[in-house]
Amino acid sequence: MFVGFDYGSANCAIGIMQGEEVCLVPLSGDAKYLTSTLYAMDRELIAEEVLKQLPTDQKAEYTRLRSAQLSRAASMRRELDLLPHEQAVFVGEAAVEAYLEMPDEGFYVRSPKSFLGATGLRDNQIALFEDIVTLMMMHIKAVAEKNMRENSVITHAVIGRPVNFQGIGGEQSNLQAEAILSLAAKRAGFIDVDFLFEPLAAGMDYEASLDEDVTVLVVDVGGGTTDCSMVKMGPNHIESADRSQDFLGHSGQRIGGNDLDIALSMAAFMPHLGLGSLMVNKLPVPSKPFWNAVAVNDISAQRDFAALNSKKLIEELIKDAQQPELITRLLKVQKEQLGYKLVRSAEQSKIALSSEDSIDTPLSFVHAGLHAKVTEVDFENAITMPLSKVESLMREALETSGVKPDRIYVTGGTARSPAIYRRISGLFPDIPIVVGDHFGSVTAGLTRWAQRVFA
C-alpha cells in the first residue's frame, strides 16, 4: 500500500486513498494525529527497543552498530529494576504523559524532526536520532496498519520534508536529515520512500479543488519550519507526473510554532522566574539561563542548562539577586528539568488565544499558586521577531520566482493563530488569501503524490 507520511515537527499523520478522497488513518485512539514526542526512562533503552522490533534480517547488523548502546541498555534496565519486557520507551501522547509524571527522571524529546539537520552533530548523536525516528516510524506504521482494513500492509511512502531542515548548514543539513529519515524508514519496514517538499504537498491538496490555472504562493507555517513555495496550479498541471517546471521558487527556514512557544515562554513566563529583575549591583540578571531553559529545539542550549555549571550559576544569581525568591523558581526548573513543561504551557496558551482575548495559565508546577495572564496583545508582541522571519521568507519566495501570485494559500498548524493570519494578510492586502486545512493538507498532498510516483 502507498501512503503519504507527514513526519511533522508537532504532529505525525498517515494518509491513504479511498476512491478519489484522501483519508487520514487514526494513530492515537480516534485521533488522526500523533504528537511528535518520545520519552524513555533512559536514552540507552531506545536502541534496545529498536532491536526488539527490527525485522530479523536487520538484527545482526544493527547489533553490531549499536553494541555499546545495547550493553549500556542492559545495565540500565537492571539499575532501574525493570522487568525484561516492561515498557520503558513511549511515543506520542503516552510519551507526554510519562514525561509529565517523571520530568526529571528520564529522557524526553519533543519535535525530533527539528534536530535532524542540526550542524555539528557527533556520530553518537546522529545514531540516537536515527533510533528515535526509527522507533516512532515503527509505532506509527504498526498502528496505521492495525487501524486500516484487514491484511493491509504499508510498503511505500512519500514523506514530507521542509525546504530547509535548518537555517544554517544548507544542503549538507538537508542531506543529513534525509539520510536519517531514509534509514529510519528502511528499519521501520518501508520497502521504498520518496520525499516531497511540504509546501508543495499542501498546495497539491488545494489544487484538487481548482477549476482554473493560477499561480499560488503556498505558505506552510508548521511546528518546526516555515516553507514558502510559488507554484503553478490548476487543471492543466494537476495530472503531470513531473511538477518541476511548475515549482517557480521557494524559501524555507527552521522557524515555526516551536519558536513562537519559546518566545511566548520568555515574554510571559520567565519574568515570574526572575527575568528582567535586578542584581544587588543594579545590573539586570543575565538572560542566558532563562533562554536555555526553554530553548527546547536547541541541543546545545538544553545540554548547557542541564549541566552542573548551570545549576551553580543560578545558585550564584540567587545570592546576588534583589529578588532571590524569583530566581529560586528558575533553579527548580533546572533541577527538575521543567523546561518542556513551560513550553508546553505556552503552546496551550497560544492555542487558547486563537479563540480567546486572554488566558490565565497555571504554573503551579514551578511554584505553588503561580499563574501568568497572557493576552493576545502579549502574544503578538512576543512573536514579533519570529513573524518578521516568516514575512522575510514570503518576500524571498516572491523574489526568487520573479512573479506575483494570484492567491496565497496558508496552511500548517501554527497558521491557525489570528495574529499570524493578520501579519500575512497585511503584507499583501491586494492578494486573496485562502486558508487550508491547518493540519491535514500536507498529508493529503503527500498521499496523492504517492499514488503517482509509486504507481
231-245 per-position pLDDT tens digit: 999 999 888 777 778
Average pLDDT, the chain: 90
What ranges do the domains of the chain cover? 2-190, 258-383
The fraction of the chain above a pLDDT of 90, given in percent, is 60
- pLDDT tier for residue 167 given thresholds of 50, 70 and 90: low
Q: Is the pLDDT of residue 318 over 70?
A: yes
Q: By CB neighbour count within 10 A (0-12 exposed, 13-18 middle, 19+ buried), where does 424 fall?
A: buried
| Model confidence band, residue 168 (pLDDT cutoffs 50, 70, 90) | low
Which pLDDT does position 222 carry in this prediction?
Answer: 79
What is the reported pLDDT for 280? Answer: 95
Distance CA 453, CA 192 (A): 11
pLDDT reported for residue 247: 85
Mean pLDDT of 177-187: 96
Residue with the bigger pLDDT between 64 and 101: it is: 64
Segment 135-160 shows an average pLDDT of 92
CATH number, span 2-190 = 3.30.420.40
CA 45 to CA 281: how far, in whole Å?
Answer: 47
pLDDT at position 220, please? Answer: 85
Q: Is the pLDDT of residue 437 over 70?
A: no
pTM of the predicted model as reported, rounded to 2 decimal places: 0.78
| pLDDT tens, residue by residue, 2-54 | 999 999 888 899 999 988 889 999 999 889 999 999 999 999 999 999 999 99
Q: pLDDT, tens digit, for every residue of 243-298? A: 778 889 888 887 888 889 999 999 999 999 999 999 999 999 999 999 999 998 78
Q: Give tens-digit pLDDT for 50-85.
A: 999 999 999 999 999 999 999 999 999 999 999 888
pLDDT tens-digit map of 353-378: 888 889 999 999 999 999 999 998 99
CA atoms of 166 and 396, how far apart (whole Å)? 16
What radius of gyration do the chain's Cα atoms show? Answer: 23
Which residues, in sequence order, are CB contacts of 74 under 8 Å at separation 6+?
Answer: 48
**Whether pLDDT at 166 is above 80:** no
pLDDT score recorded for residue 320:
95
Average pLDDT rounded to a whole number, residues 193-219? 88
Cα separation of 181 and 132, whole Å?
10
pLDDT of residue 38: 95
For position 371, what pLDDT does the model report? 95
Least trusted range by pLDDT, from 124-128, 205-209, 272-276, 431-435:
205-209
Q: Higher confidence at residue 415 or residue 447?
A: 447
Q: What is the pLDDT of residue 169?
A: 59
* 346-359 pLDDT per residue, tens: 999 998 988 888 99
Q: Give the distance between the most distant pair of CA atoms in the chain.
A: 71
Q: Give 365-424 pLDDT, tens digit per residue.
A: 999 999 999 998 999 899 888 889 888 999 999 999 999 999 999 887 677 777 777 888
Strands 358-362 and 21-24: unpaired
Confidence of residue 132 (pLDDT cuts 50, 70, 90): very high
> What confidence score (pLDDT) does residue 189 get?
95
